[in-house]
Structure 1
Amino acid sequence: MTAGPGFADLTPLARAREQKAWNWYDWANSAFYTTVLTVLFAPYMITVAGKAAGCSDADETCRRTVSVLGLHLAAGSLPFYLTSFATISSAFLLPVVGAFVDRSSHKKWHMAGFAWSGAFFAALLFFMKDDHWQVGAVAVVLSSILCGCSLVSYYAILVDISTEDERDRVSSRGWAWGYLGGGLLLLVNLVVFLGHDTFGLSKGLSVRLSLLSAALWWAGFTIIPFRRLRDRPPQHVVAESGSIVQRSFGQLVTTLREARTFPMTMTFLVAFLFYNDGIQTVIGVASTYGSKQLGFGQSVLIATILLIQFVAWGGALLFARLAARHGSYRSILWGTYAWMVIVVLALFLPRGNVALFLALGVAIAIVMGGTQALSRSFFSLLIPRGREGEYFALYNACERGTSWFGTLLFGLVFQLSGSYRPAIVSLVVFFVLGAYFLHRLDPQRGISEAGNAVPEAV
């Protein structure tokens, strides 16, 4: 849509409508990540698998095993093995999905199709009860992989609906909507879970209904971006012969071979690999650190989880304003410095001091929302046009395929020291390495080499 003589250019208004629609998918899928993967799935599966292994409800450290494809795995470790398997599988699958997306003129169909398929498998978690853990194992692996596939298309659409100067604002609003939506449903589900007797529900049924609600939320709200976004033809794709699947593999090979011609893009991916691993590990071990090292009970930890969700909403919007003034690159770099300060301060938190623990949670939320949102928008500027799906697949693969490094270091340091304090401060190495590679990055050069317009503030 362009303006003719005597007519106003309505293109920005059309983009704004699509950008608002695009935000809704962050709102939709975040419920799966918060309610299912972050809070409820793991402890509930441990209970169900524990029953199958012969563990009593009172035995929280039961090490009896269940058989998975001939492997005898401890019931208490099963959900972590499953999510790790889904993570590693995604790292190999997503680049091929991205190449497929780049060649398609139906990105929103792929986004929605993967989302609805993932939500279907997530809904099957409702049937994980008694000692029937197998349905939950299949459901969580497939729903996690399919959610990652949907995000490849979702991220690629960002480039279609926004100019280079709009990316930070649009991406940050999407993250903000995601934190808000995921937090609201999690709040409702925690009320149902903690007050299950009041609602006439068993503890297990309250969890199963909460897992089902996340699947329905994900599927239902995906309808909004699906209906309001419009598809566009692919641009600048690599000429390959054969079927669309064969052409997708061909483009993947070509892009990996040509990646060295975009050194700044690859430098950012390495930086993101490190500092994002640090972020994910801090988020993942915060409850363990709070309960085991600082002595907080379940009520404090739940309050902190909800606080982080809602404050991160404001953090994403705050960093969007920071990026508008100083640029996303500088804002991300400053964010890595803030993460270094946070993990060092965590080392000195006194045991039992709720106020300081919540204050640190606020700091984590502000920086978490901002750095994640701006990383997505800044990376979009480093992608050559027509390769959005594949490069965002590599972006997600870096995030998913290496996100266990931090937890491994955390576990090793705890095993060697016997304390979670040196374990938490050891994570500073990931932010130091992230900042190091960010300093080696020339953002203007990277954006220009990718063929994109350099925003006013970088």
Structure 2
Amino acid sequence: MYKNKSIISWAFYDWANSVFATVVIAGFFPIVFKSYWAANLTETQNTFWLGAGNAAASLIVVGLAPILGIIGDKYNIRKPLLLSFMLLGVITTSMFYFSGEGSWVLALSLYIIATVGFMAANIFYDALLVPVSKKSQIDKVSGLGYGMGYLGGGVALALCVALTQQPEIFGFNSTIDAVLVCFLLVAVWWFVFSVPLALWVKDTQDEKNKISDGVLPQTFKLFKMVFKDRQTRLFLFAYWVYIDGVDTIIRMAVDYGMALGFATSDLIQALLITQFVGFPAAILYGYIGNKVGVKNSLMAGIGIYALITWLGYSMKSADDFYVLAVLIGLVQGGVQAMSRSYFTRMIPQGQAAEYFGIYNMLGKSAAIIGPIMMGGVALITENHRYSILSVLLLFIIGAFVLSRVNVSDK
């Protein structure tokens, strides 16, 4: 597996694009948004608009995902579409550098577009997992991808932390100048490390299964086909609920820590811990899922997330935040990777992009509910601890529905 150029090149895209998820979504964007672009807004307004921006990006992808998946399969252009959306994300991320102080509307608009590029590209990245790996390898390859992502995101975040903690050493006049350069670094990193996938990943498709219907008729047919199967329907509903909890914690953790009064340096260090713990943990999770069963490994990961949410509600110090960072790193990539590989067992041959269009549509629509729920609870109660506690409900419901799914791990 590790000598297969196609597999390694595919996994390297996770190394490439995870820098956006880590440095931008989870790391510096919430901090710069609050302290530089939207410093004139109140704390609760900041939380609301950040949640609304994440929700808007997710809503756009929800509307596009099934249609994009069908187009990718029908015309066999999954890789070109991946690279096109990657370029959209790269270009708009680089434009953060030119957003001036107080221009929170512009910054948030760019963030929404860049996030759409990031998420839409992942529809086709997920779909390429099927042609690049054998069925017996799919859990391990999926885990490898997430593991590479955590390592790449961690290395890039460490570089950005070094730039921003002592900006004068690197010739910057202020910390904000260094952070804005980090956004340029993200764009370059994302583009350069996407090159192996562009060169060496082959997207093969069985011509016998090629779509003959038009895009809109096939869209209706796809929804009917996917949700007609009870096990697929149950799994997708469970995934829709529990991945909402996972994504909400990814997107809102830094905002939550800032609201509790933790120092920015503590929050960034916690992110680094999550990344570097997540690298070996995600790869190991692939082997565990292959041995004990994907569904069992998913249930265990969701259970740990429920514990994380409760501990997040009750934490009092930065040390508590570090403990949560370790726990998140142990299961975050594993839950994501095993969800993806478990779903591949439900996909008919030749329909990977279509099915992953539905998969990503549900995943991103879930990410609409979580941030808005968390932001809304904070706004109504004026207590950020209640906002994180509300996420616990998502893991409880998700685990219950997943327990009803009966799809072979083989």
- TM-score normalised according to structure 2 size: 0.91
Partner residue in 2 for 1:448: none
Partner residue in 2 for 1:108: 79
SS of equivalent residue, structure 1 residue 404: helix
Q: Work out whether residues 298 and 335 of structure 2, in 8 Å CA contact, stay in contact via their aligned partners in 1.
A: yes
Following superposition, the deviation at residue 423 of structure 1 comes to 3.8
Partner residue in 1 for 2:42: 61
If asked which structure has higher relative contact order (CA below 8 Å, sep 6+), I would say: 2
Structure 1 Cα separation of the partners of residues 341 and 178 of structure 2: 38
1:224 is aligned to 2:176? no
1:166-315 equivalence runs, <5 A: 166-201=137-172, 202-235=174-207, 236-240=209-213, 247-293=214-260, 295-315=261-281
1:379 is aligned to 2:343? yes
1:117 is aligned to 2:60? no
Structure 1 Cα separation of the partners of residues 181 and 219 of structure 2: 41
Q: Work out whether residues 189 and 210 of structure 1, in 8 Å CA contact, stay in contact via their aligned partners in 2.
A: yes
Structure 1 Cα separation of the partners of residues 168 and 383 of structure 2: 37
The partner residue of 2:399 within 424, 428, 435 is 435
Following superposition, the deviation at residue 192 of structure 1 comes to 1.0
Structure 2 Cα separation of the partners of residues 259 and 44 of structure 1: 41
Q: Work out whether residues 125 and 139 of structure 1, in 8 Å CA contact, stay in contact via their aligned partners in 2.
A: yes
Structure 1 Cα separation of the partners of residues 310 and 216 of structure 2: 44
Structure 2 Cα separation of the partners of residues 79 and 112 of structure 1: 27
Cα gap change, 1:290 to 1:133, in 2 (>3 Å): closer
Following superposition, the deviation at residue 23 of structure 1 comes to 0.4
Give deviations 1:120-156, integer Å, cap 9, x for gaps.
Answer: 2222222212455565444323222222221111111
Cα gap change, 1:187 to 1:405, in 2 (>3 Å): same
SS of equivalent residue, structure 2 residue 224: helix
Partner residue in 1 for 2:127: 156
Comparing 355-364 with 147-156, which one deviates more in the overlay?
355-364
Structure 1 Cα separation of the partners of residues 374 and 401 of structure 2: 22
Q: Work out whether residues 409 and 423 of structure 1, in 8 Å CA contact, stay in contact via their aligned partners in 2.
A: yes
1:36 is aligned to 2:2? no
- AA matched with 1:93: L
The partner residue of 2:297 within 313, 331, 350 is 331
Structure 2 Cα separation of the partners of residues 120 and 391 of structure 1: 28
Q: Work out whether residues 111 and 153 of structure 1, in 8 Å CA contact, stay in contact via their aligned partners in 2.
A: yes
Following superposition, the deviation at residue 46 of structure 1 comes to 4.8
Give deviations 1:366-408, integer Å, cap 9, x for gaps.
Answer: 0112111111111111111222112111111112122132334
Following superposition, the deviation at residue 22 of structure 1 comes to 0.5
Structure 2 Cα separation of the partners of residues 346 and 378 of structure 1: 29
Cα gap change, 1:405 to 1:47, in 2 (>3 Å): same
Provide the alpha-carbon RMSD of the alignment.
Answer: 2.6
Structure 2 Cα separation of the partners of residues 318 and 303 of structure 1: 23
- AA matched with 2:198: F
Following superposition, the deviation at residue 180 of structure 1 comes to 0.7
Q: Work out whether residues 71 and 77 of structure 2, in 8 Å CA contact, stay in contact via their aligned partners in 1.
A: no
Following superposition, the deviation at residue 291 of structure 1 comes to 4.3
Structure 1 Cα separation of the partners of residues 297 and 43 of structure 2: 46
Q: Work out whether residues 243 and 366 of structure 2, in 8 Å CA contact, stay in contact via their aligned partners in 1.
A: no
Partner residue in 2 for 1:9: none
Partner residue in 2 for 1:17: 5
Q: Work out whether residues 265 and 383 of structure 1, in 8 Å CA contact, stay in contact via their aligned partners in 2.
A: no
Partner residue in 1 for 2:331: 367
1:336-415 equivalence runs, <5 A: 336-349=302-315, 351-352=316-317, 354-414=318-378
Cα gap change, 1:19 to 1:122, in 2 (>3 Å): same
Q: Work out whether residues 121 and 140 of structure 1, in 8 Å CA contact, stay in contact via their aligned partners in 2.
A: yes
Cα gap change, 1:417 to 1:79, in 2 (>3 Å): closer
Give deviations 1:390-438, integer Å, cap 9, x for gaps.
Answer: 2111111112122132334434555666544444333221111111111
- AA matched with 1:213: L
Structure 1 Cα separation of the partners of residues 248 and 69 of structure 2: 26
Cα gap change, 1:234 to 1:249, in 2 (>3 Å): farther
1:26 is aligned to 2:14? yes
In structure 1, stretches of 5+ residues that fail to align are: 1-11, 51-56, 64-73, 241-246, 445-453
- TM-score normalised according to structure 1 size: 0.82
Cα gap change, 1:44 to 1:285, in 2 (>3 Å): closer
- Structure of higher CA gyration radius: 1
Cα gap change, 1:198 to 1:403, in 2 (>3 Å): same
Partner residue in 1 for 2:114: 143
Structure 2 Cα separation of the partners of residues 234 and 265 of structure 1: 23
SS of equivalent residue, structure 1 residue 252: helix
Give deviations 1:238-295, integer Å, cap 9, x for gaps.
Answer: 321xxxxxx22222121112223322112111001111111122333433444444x5
- AA matched with 2:270: T
Q: How many residues align?
A: 408
SS of equivalent residue, structure 1 residue 25: helix
Structure 2 Cα separation of the partners of residues 303 and 421 of structure 1: 21
SS of equivalent residue, structure 1 residue 250: helix
Structure 1 Cα separation of the partners of residues 2 and 326 of structure 2: 35
Structure 1 Cα separation of the partners of residues 268 and 326 of structure 2: 14
